[in-house]
Chains A and B, each alone.
Chain A
Amino acid sequence: AINRFYQPSRRATSRSAPTMGVSDSKPSDLKVNGLFEHYKDDQEDAILAEGIDQFCKDLTILPDDFKILILAWKLNAEQMCRFSRAEFVNGLKSIKCDSIKSIQSRLPELVQEVEESDELYKDLYRFAFKFGLDIQIGQRILPTSMAIVLWKLVFTIREPPILNRWLNFLETHPLIRGIPKDTWNMFLNFSDHVGSDLSCYDDNEAWPSLFDDFVEFENDQANQNISKDLDKECDEFLIKDG
């Protein structure tokens, strides 16, 4: 009977969810489990891609929204596109939510918290790496393309000035085989340390060597730009002369 109650047509859910969320501060086991059952896969005891898709729709948030990353972090999800029952139920209870409505209202608060706390943000940042790994195939290094997506996502807030140059570097260097955990973690320190000015970077310090390559590349670019500008000037002179 409960199942039936929670499994009306989708439109009904989106309408009925708010009414459930209004209740009070103590999230109810029953409601949270009910919510899980609602999105859960037919075969597995977990919410999979399809369920998550629907979940996001009901939350009226896009699946690649920063808030979803926050949610996954709060649920301590082990991998992408999958919430196990334990993750989902315990996670929602820990943020005191048991309905779509309550999640919807809680997420902006969580974003605010992360925005304000260095420690929380660092935790989220480090979570993102683990979250991005494909544990099914035993991945231990994040493929560069995935890393780029995650960097863009995780830096929805607190975007460091160096980010675009860094991502551009990764995109233009297909030989980089991937991002190891240490490099991922250290990028946060790195971006903090250099700000927008790479001149204070010292490759004698304990930075992962990918940053050495990046800074070298950037410096080369800078030098080339100077010579390019010179070329341009020369061209202009030539044109005038002509």
Chain B
Amino acid sequence: MSLKPRLVDFNSTWGAIKETITGVITLDHVPRTVWNDRFSDVYSLCVAHPEPLADRLYAETKQYLIDHVAHLLEKVQADGDHCLIKNYFHYWSQYSVGSQYLHSLYLYLNQQHIKSHKMSDAEIIYGNGEPSNSSATDQMEIGELALQVWQTNMIWPLGHRLVKLLLEAIDLDRAGKPPAIHLDAVRGTILSLVEVQAYRKKSQLQLYAELFEGPFLDASGEHFKRDAALLLQEKNVSLYMDKVKGKIDEELYRARRFLHASSLSKVTSRCEQHMVAEHLQFLYSECTNMVKYEKKKDLANMYELLKSVTDALVVLVDTVFDHIKNQGLAAIHNLQGDTLHIQFVENLLAVYKKYKELIKEVFKSDQNFMGALDKACNSVINHRPNEGRSPCRSPELLAKYCDALLKKSSKGISETEVDEKLSESIIIFKYIDDKDIFQKFYSRSLAKRLIHQQTQSMDAEEAMINRLKQACGYEFTSKLHRMFTDMSVSADLNNKFQEFTKSEEIELGINFGIYVLQAGAWPLGQAVVTPFALPQQLEKSVQMFETFYHNRFNGRKLTWLHHLCQAELKLGYLKKPYVVTVQTFQMAILLLFEKTDQLSCKEIRETLQLNSEQFKRHAVSLVDSKLLLANAEEIDETETVLRLNMDYLNKRTKFRITAAIQKEAPHEVEQTINSVEEDRKMYLQAAIVRIMKSRKVLKHNLLIQEVYAQSKVSFAPSVPLIKKCIESLIDKQYIERTPHSSEEYSYVA
């Protein structure tokens, strides 16, 4: 065989080809040799001499296909409607495969003749291909041609009848009745609508969508509506949701069996629209009860269903928010007793954990519900009782809770447990608006723990402060850090002082240890320093220390906070020696009895220059402990005479006299809150100046926003407070209103 173009007789060659393609398209047996001959025939027609006969071959082939499909159409319809789908599917299966073989047979025509006439992809996209008027541009590759002929000559005339029958078949399936047509035929017929356009470069699904999918979805919609109406008659939301969920699953399964994959989401959304979105009020009607009684299964169903409908979740989210808030408020309502702070924090944590777990389980930790939990916790924790007139106690109670855990006295719980509880308390802490108030209370209790050596573990203390730092930043805990630094610096200082006394050969006569604390970092007001004449046993030590200290740090002022100090005394006048730990003032009183066994209160007070309140408290504590005896029931600060109890007896040889415990008086709490108020003003003014300094000119509202954003970390400032601070800065001429606008400020350098 030669590949050279030669003279070909079209009619005889075409006759041979025609005979063969009939076999090909009907999947009849075609011997290999015949196939090969026809393959070359196509070639020789395409390259025929003197004129290529490709166009003629194309036209004849097309006509052949049209005739063939017309013939098939008759066959498909031959057995009436009930066999229509079956027949259609049968011939389609044959034709679609046959047309692919045909495509291969015409390989040369496809590749050399048609493709060369076609615009390349690039030309189509960039649009520089001149629209050619040659007939070849309309020509398709033979495979495509075959499909297009099918579409035009089979599907167009038959389409609507087919679809009607298909929908009936699906309805039958929905009703759960045995199929009248084999399901493969239904599925194959439906998918033929996609396959027949598979050669297209775009909108391959157009025919499928228009001819079948649209009517299918409409019909399904009607079906869903009817179904919903039927289910609604039960008037049971829980049951309804169960059924709808089942329905959606079932429809999805059906869609997977029959439809193109692109239809799945459309089916579900139709179903949701008619069965969920159109009956929201019905679903909402049970919302409150389901949330109130925390019916997890129902809520999970409700979530699943509402999730898919735009904005439908809001009502459920709000209901959940209200519920958590009410539960939270109930959990901290009317708490009483000494363990108030523990109940408060642990009840709140219980509520928090419970609902976090519930949201995780039921609502898949959906952001909307997590947001509701946050909002609810926030409003519970910052709730002000008495319709907002009483201050919020959360900062104070939480600080107390931490104190109780960090104090030595917390017996019976292990270190890991303490650590766990402290780290959980941060959960509550994060919701607190007035973090600065918490900081005030916390630093006060920390100071007490450090000074009175009541700290359980320094590691635990540090860990807690690091947690606070993590939550609020360095600035928030800087004072707390400085308190720790002071403690370690003081330890060092004590060592140096001892070396100093040794090298100078000074005998102090007592063991003497001090803490030097920076006034700014510790919440120890100097106002509480009361007059006190130092016992002479202490004088030397105090003097020596002051000398020592001023030599090292010239110009620093030391203030002695005697009321925070303690001493150990050895009692040598009793049958047994005792070691007793007392506070400075108690010690001073006891020391006066070194030379005498009996003193009047008047004498004691004059010697020590204690004010009456201090004296009374400490004298009473000594009499209560029976170390001293009074000659009257009620101690009078002038007349009563105190004498040493020489018969004192105690089972323990080492003990501590606690002075009448200084309760945290209510005015102390108030003071703390007031001092916070002042701090806030300073903080806000500093923030305003900082912002104005960098921005130079700023509008009122923007300034307020920025100040708010900056201070949010430690407290939520009120707008009137910010305004007052702005005013006072205008007054102090740090900032001024710009000349052209009273809504705008500028920084005064």
Check B723 for interface membership: any CB of A closer than 8 A: yes
Whether B731 contacts A140 by the Cβ 8 Å rule is yes
User: Complex formed: what's the CA distance from A181 to B727 in Å?
Assistant: 10
Instruction: Name the one of B700, B731, B744 contacting A182, with C-beta atoms under 8 angstroms.
Output: B731
Choose, from A10-18, A78-86, A111-119, A203-211, the stretch at the interface: A203-211
Whether B742 contacts A186 by the Cβ 8 Å rule is yes
Min C-beta distance of B692 to chain A, whole Å: 13
Q: For chain B, what secondary structure do more than half of its interface residues adopt (helix, strand, loop), or is it mixed?
A: helix
Min C-beta distance of B260 to chain A, whole Å: 57
Whether B730 contacts A180 by the Cβ 8 Å rule is yes
Check A212 for interface membership: any CB of B closer than 8 A: yes
User: Complex formed: what's the CA distance from A206 to B738 in Å?
Assistant: 12
User: Complex formed: what's the CA distance from A212 to B726 in Å?
Assistant: 14
Check A189 for interface membership: any CB of B closer than 8 A: yes
Min C-beta distance of A213 to chain B, whole Å: 9
Min C-beta distance of A204 to chain B, whole Å: 7
Whether B720 contacts A209 by the Cβ 8 Å rule is yes
Q: What chain B residues lie within 8 Å of A141 (beta carbons)?
A: 731
Using CB atoms, name the residue of chain A closest to B736: A182
Whether B742 contacts A209 by the Cβ 8 Å rule is no
Using CB atoms, name the residue of chain A closest to B742: A189
Whether B724 contacts A209 by the Cβ 8 Å rule is yes
Given contacts A182-B737, A189-B742, A204-B701, contact A209 B730 (CB under 8 A): no
Given contacts A181-B731, A182-B731, A204-B701, contact A212 B723 (CB under 8 A): yes
- Mark contacts of B696-737 with chain A using CB atoms, 8 A cut-off: 1 yes-contact digit, 0 otherwise: 000011000000000000000001100110110011000001
Whether A206 contacts B731 by the Cβ 8 Å rule is no
Whether A205 contacts B720 by the Cβ 8 Å rule is no
Using CB atoms, name the residue of chain A closest to B720: A209
- Mark contacts of A141-177 with chain B using CB atoms, 8 A cut-off: 1 yes-contact digit, 0 otherwise: 1000000000000000000000000000000000000
Min C-beta distance of A143 to chain B, whole Å: 15
Min C-beta distance of B459 to chain A, whole Å: 48
Q: What chain A residues lie within 8 Å of B720 (beta carbons)?
A: 203, 209, 212
User: Complex formed: what's the CA distance from A189 to B700 in Å?
Assistant: 16
- Mark contacts of A178-206 with chain B using CB atoms, 8 A cut-off: 1 yes-contact digit, 0 otherwise: 00111100100100000000000001111
Min C-beta distance of A194 to chain B, whole Å: 14
Given contacts A140-B731, A180-B730, A180-B731, contact A206 B743 (CB under 8 A): yes
Q: What chain A residues lie within 8 Å of B745 (beta carbons)?
A: 206
- Mark contacts of B123-147 with chain A using CB atoms, 8 A cut-off: 1 yes-contact digit, 0 otherwise: 0000000000000000000000000
Given contacts A205-B700, A205-B743, A206-B700, contact A182 B719 (CB under 8 A): no
Q: Which of B701, B724, B727 has the most A CB atoms < 10 Å from its CB?
A: B727
Q: What chain B residues lie within 8 Å of A140 (beta carbons)?
A: 731
Whether A182 contacts B730 by the Cβ 8 Å rule is yes
Instruction: Name the one of A180, A181, A204 contacting B719, with C-beta atoms under 8 angstroms.
Output: A204
User: Complex formed: what's the CA distance from A208 to B744 in Å?
Assistant: 13
Whether B700 contacts A180 by the Cβ 8 Å rule is no
User: Complex formed: what's the CA distance from A17 to B423 in Å?
Assistant: 90
Min C-beta distance of A215 to chain B, whole Å: 12
Using CB atoms, name the residue of chain A closest to B699: A206
Using CB atoms, name the residue of chain A closest to B703: A206
Min C-beta distance of B733 to chain A, whole Å: 9
Using CB atoms, name the residue of chain B closest to A189: B742
Q: What chain B residues lie within 8 Å of A205 (beta carbons)?
A: 700, 743
Q: What chain B residues lie within 8 Å of A180 (beta carbons)?
A: 727, 730-731
Given contacts A186-B742, A189-B742, A204-B719, contact A209 B700 (CB under 8 A): no
Q: What chain A residues lie within 8 Å of B724 (beta carbons)?
A: 209
Whether B743 contacts A182 by the Cβ 8 Å rule is no
Q: What chain A residues lie within 8 Å of B719 (beta carbons)?
A: 203-204
User: Complex formed: what's the CA distance from A155 to B726 in Å?
Assistant: 28
Q: What chain A residues lie within 8 Å of B700 (beta carbons)?
A: 205-206
Interface residues of B in 682-700 (CB under 8 A from A): 700
User: Complex formed: what's the CA distance from A240 to B745 in Å?
Assistant: 61
Min C-beta distance of B349 to chain A, whole Å: 37
Whether B743 contacts A208 by the Cβ 8 Å rule is no
User: Complex formed: what's the CA distance from A212 to B723 in Å?
Assistant: 10
Instruction: Name the one of B727, B737, B744 contacting A209, with C-beta atoms under 8 angstroms.
Output: B727
Q: What chain B residues lie within 8 Å of A189 (beta carbons)?
A: 742
User: Complex formed: what's the CA distance from A145 to B731 in Å?
Assistant: 20
User: Complex formed: what's the CA distance from A98 to B719 in Å?
Assistant: 54
Given contacts A182-B737, A212-B720, A212-B723, contact A206 B730 (CB under 8 A): no
User: Complex formed: what's the CA distance from A180 to B726 in Å?
Assistant: 13
User: Complex formed: what's the CA distance from A45 to B743 in Å?
Assistant: 44
User: Complex formed: what's the CA distance from A182 to B727 in Å?
Assistant: 8
Given contacts A182-B737, A186-B742, contact A209 B723 (CB under 8 A): yes
User: Complex formed: what's the CA distance from A186 to B744 in Å?
Assistant: 13
User: Complex formed: what's the CA distance from A232 to B726 in Å?
Assistant: 44
Min C-beta distance of A77 to chain B, whole Å: 23
User: Complex formed: what's the CA distance from A183 to B723 in Å?
Assistant: 12
Whether A208 contacts B727 by the Cβ 8 Å rule is yes
User: Complex formed: what's the CA distance from A205 to B704 in Å?
Assistant: 10
Using CB atoms, name the residue of chain A closest to B731: A180
Q: What chain B residues lie within 8 Å of A208 (beta carbons)?
A: 723, 727
User: Complex formed: what's the CA distance from A206 to B736 in Å?
Assistant: 12
User: Complex formed: what's the CA distance from A205 to B743 in Å?
Assistant: 7
Using CB atoms, name the residue of chain B closest to A180: B731
Min C-beta distance of A214 to chain B, whole Å: 13
Q: What chain A residues lie within 8 Å of B744 (beta carbons)?
A: 206
- Mark contacts of B645-669 with chain A using CB atoms, 8 A cut-off: 1 yes-contact digit, 0 otherwise: 0000000000000000000000000
User: Complex formed: what's the CA distance from A173 to B460 in Å?
Assistant: 53
Using CB atoms, name the residue of chain A closest to B741: A206
Using CB atoms, name the residue of chain B closest to A183: B727
Using CB atoms, name the residue of chain A closest to B728: A180
User: Complex formed: what's the CA distance from A189 to B741 in Å?
Assistant: 11
- Mark contacts of A115-142 with chain B using CB atoms, 8 A cut-off: 1 yes-contact digit, 0 otherwise: 0000000000000000000000000110
Min C-beta distance of B309 to chain A, whole Å: 36
User: Complex formed: what's the CA distance from A209 to B721 in Å?
Assistant: 9
Q: What chain B residues lie within 8 Å of A209 (beta carbons)?
A: 720, 723-724, 727
User: Complex formed: what's the CA distance from A46 to B682 in Å?
Assistant: 44
Q: What chain A residues lie within 8 Å of B701 (beta carbons)?
A: 204
Min C-beta distance of A47 to chain B, whole Å: 32
Min C-beta distance of B707 to chain A, whole Å: 13
Q: What chain A residues lie within 8 Å of B742 (beta carbons)?
A: 186, 189, 206
User: Complex formed: what's the CA distance from A196 to B331 in Å?
Assistant: 50
User: Complex formed: what's the CA distance from A55 to B324 in Å?
Assistant: 78
Interface residues of B in 221-261 (CB under 8 A from A): none
User: Complex formed: what's the CA distance from A181 to B731 in Å?
Assistant: 7
Min C-beta distance of A217 to chain B, whole Å: 14
Q: What chain B residues lie within 8 Å of A204 (beta carbons)?
A: 701, 719
- Mark contacts of B178-194 with chain A using CB atoms, 8 A cut-off: 1 yes-contact digit, 0 otherwise: 00000000000000000
Q: What chain B residues lie within 8 Å of A182 (beta carbons)?
A: 727, 730-731, 737
Q: What chain A residues lie within 8 Å of B731 (beta carbons)?
A: 140-141, 180-182
Q: What chain B residues lie within 8 Å of A181 (beta carbons)?
A: 731
Min C-beta distance of B718 to chain A, whole Å: 11
Q: Which of A140, A203, A205, A208 has the most B CB atoms < 10 Å from its CB?
A: A208
Min C-beta distance of A175 to chain B, whole Å: 14
Using CB atoms, name the residue of chain A closest to B744: A206
Min C-beta distance of B703 to chain A, whole Å: 9
Q: What chain B residues lie within 8 Å of A203 (beta carbons)?
A: 719-720
Min C-beta distance of A122 to chain B, whole Å: 12
Min C-beta distance of A126 to chain B, whole Å: 12
Q: Besides A182-B737, A206-B744, A209-B720, 4 other CB < 8 A contacts? A: A181-B731, A186-B737, A186-B742, A212-B720
Interface residues of B (CB under 8 A from A): 700-701, 719-720, 723-724, 726-727, 730-731, 737, 742-745
A-B contacts, 7 listed (Cβ < 8 Å):
A140-B731, A203-B719, A206-B742, A206-B743, A209-B720, A209-B724, A209-B727
What are the 10 tightest A-B residue pairs by CB atom distance, in nearest-first order? A206-B700, A182-B730, A209-B723, A206-B743, A180-B731, A189-B742, A209-B724, A208-B727, A209-B720, A206-B742
Interface residues of A (CB under 8 A from B): 140-141, 180-183, 186, 189, 203-206, 208-209, 212
